Chain A
Amino acid sequence: MNKEFEPQIVAFCCEYCSYSAADLAGSIRMSYPPNIKVILVPCSGRVDPVYLLHALEKGADGVYVTGCMEGDCHFLTGNYKAKKRVAYIRQMLDEMGLEQDRVQMFNIAASDAPEFARVAKMVTERIRALGPNPMKEQIPVDTETQREEII
């Protein structure tokens, strides 16, 4: 494993729970790895499978979706939908020859800042162990800017 490898991880966080948890983690000065780039979504159910693939294609080493606890989705079932979509993409990753753990899903309550930090650390370590996304080195120069925008 390359010790200097710092994974770039995209986290799609739902507005009503997990993004609030991320916010709270910041407010109470709870640290979590800076490798996580949070993208606010109105609901985890808003995360289309293609977003996950595009993030990987553009060079993210890992992607994860965080939704409300099961049964607590503000839109009732968005997190269940996200769970199924993540499972669909993980299955696809397997067929593509990529590690399934590059795409994951977690449920985090709005008040649970420690859980947000714990998940961020866990995912970072897991992706660090997997190593860099093989797409990364092969991204053409002209899409580098686009990659930076996405990550």
Chain B
Amino acid sequence: MIVGEHKPIRELLSMVHGYDNILMVGCKGCVTVCNAGGKKEVAILAAALRIARRKQGKPVTIDEVTLDRQCEPEFILGLEEQINKNNYDAIVSLACSIGPQYIAEAFDTMVVFPGLNTNFMGGTLEHGIWGEYCSACGNCGIHNFGGLCPVTRCAKGLLNGPCGASVDGKCEVSKDLDCIWEHIYVRMKNLGQLDRLSRVVGAKDWSKSRSGGPRKIIREDLTL
């Protein structure tokens, strides 16, 4: 999933300064799962902003709505009636940054703010803790590394690790960060594939990554 976290309240207050009638839009997708921008987080942040603005003597109206997903244009268009009816002067999206961009593209004259910082693609490590697992390099080769991704999970992105800074299974970057190459070694050993680690892995083909600008996937069998 895409993992994010809400922006600090002070930053949000600064963003919406001068706007008095706001729609806060949550997303029931990834950011609900990572407790950053679902219905509950919309309720908490909207209440926090309303209280803070009242305290400042500049009350704000914040309506709350949570869409099934904000990364689908048809769900975004579902906001049109509510926007037209309530004459909002700004929208705060609590989706990953796809949400506010879709809203911006769908409603020409509407001011849109991102309520979240979109951090990474990852998974739940335990309740309340998420970790990064994928860089979306566009050319997955984790099968060469025991099913683990050194591109993302090695601080240096080494394909021929570990480096000399791996000590007792920990990365030099942080004592809380496992050296993924330690895990890769153990996995390869368990798989009986240690010999594959003796081969030098060549330079990665980054042409499918972001070097060519924003990427697009076209599935002719699915297009209408």
**A positions within 8 Å CB-CB of B:** 48-50, 53-54, 56-57, 92, 95-98, 134-135, 138
Would you call A92 and B9 a contact (CB within 8 A)? Answer: yes
CB distance from A83 to the nearest CB of B (A): 14
Known: A92-B9, A95-B10. A135 touches B54 (CB 8 A): yes
Residues 6 to 21 of chain B near chain A (Cβ within 8 Å)? 8-10, 13
Which residue of B has the minimal Cβ distance to A96?
B52
**Residue in B8, B47, B55, B56 whose CB lies within 8 Å of A53:** B47
A98 partner residues in chain B, CB cutoff 8 A: 51-52, 55
Of B13, B40, B55, B56, most A-chain CB atoms within 10 Å: B55
Would you call A50 and B51 a contact (CB within 8 A)? Answer: no
CB distance from B9 to the nearest CB of A (A): 4
- Complexed CA–CA distance, A116 and B138 (Å): 60
Say if the beta carbon of B50 comes within 8 Å of chain A. yes
Say if the beta carbon of B106 comes within 8 Å of chain A. no
Would you call B40 and A97 a contact (CB within 8 A)? Answer: no
Main secondary structure of the interface of A (DSSP, over half): helix
Say if the beta carbon of B43 comes within 8 Å of chain A. yes
The 8 closest A-B pairs by CB, nearest first: A95-B9, A96-B52, A53-B47, A50-B43, A50-B44, A134-B55, A138-B54, A97-B55
Say if the beta carbon of B48 comes within 8 Å of chain A. yes
Would you call A138 and B51 a contact (CB within 8 A)? Answer: no
- Complexed CA–CA distance, A135 and B40 (Å): 22
A selection of 9 A-B contacts at a CB cut-off of 8 Å is A49-B44, A50-B40, A54-B43, A54-B47, A95-B8, A95-B48, A95-B52, A96-B55, A135-B51
- Complexed CA–CA distance, A107 and B40 (Å): 26
Would you call A53 and B51 a contact (CB within 8 A)? Answer: yes
Say if the beta carbon of B59 comes within 8 Å of chain A. yes
B13 partner residues in chain A, CB cutoff 8 A: 96
B52 partner residues in chain A, CB cutoff 8 A: 95-98
A96 partner residues in chain B, CB cutoff 8 A: 9, 13, 48, 51-52, 55
Known: A53-B48, A95-B9, A96-B9. A134 touches B54 (CB 8 A): yes
Known: A48-B40, A50-B40, A135-B54. A92 touches B48 (CB 8 A): yes
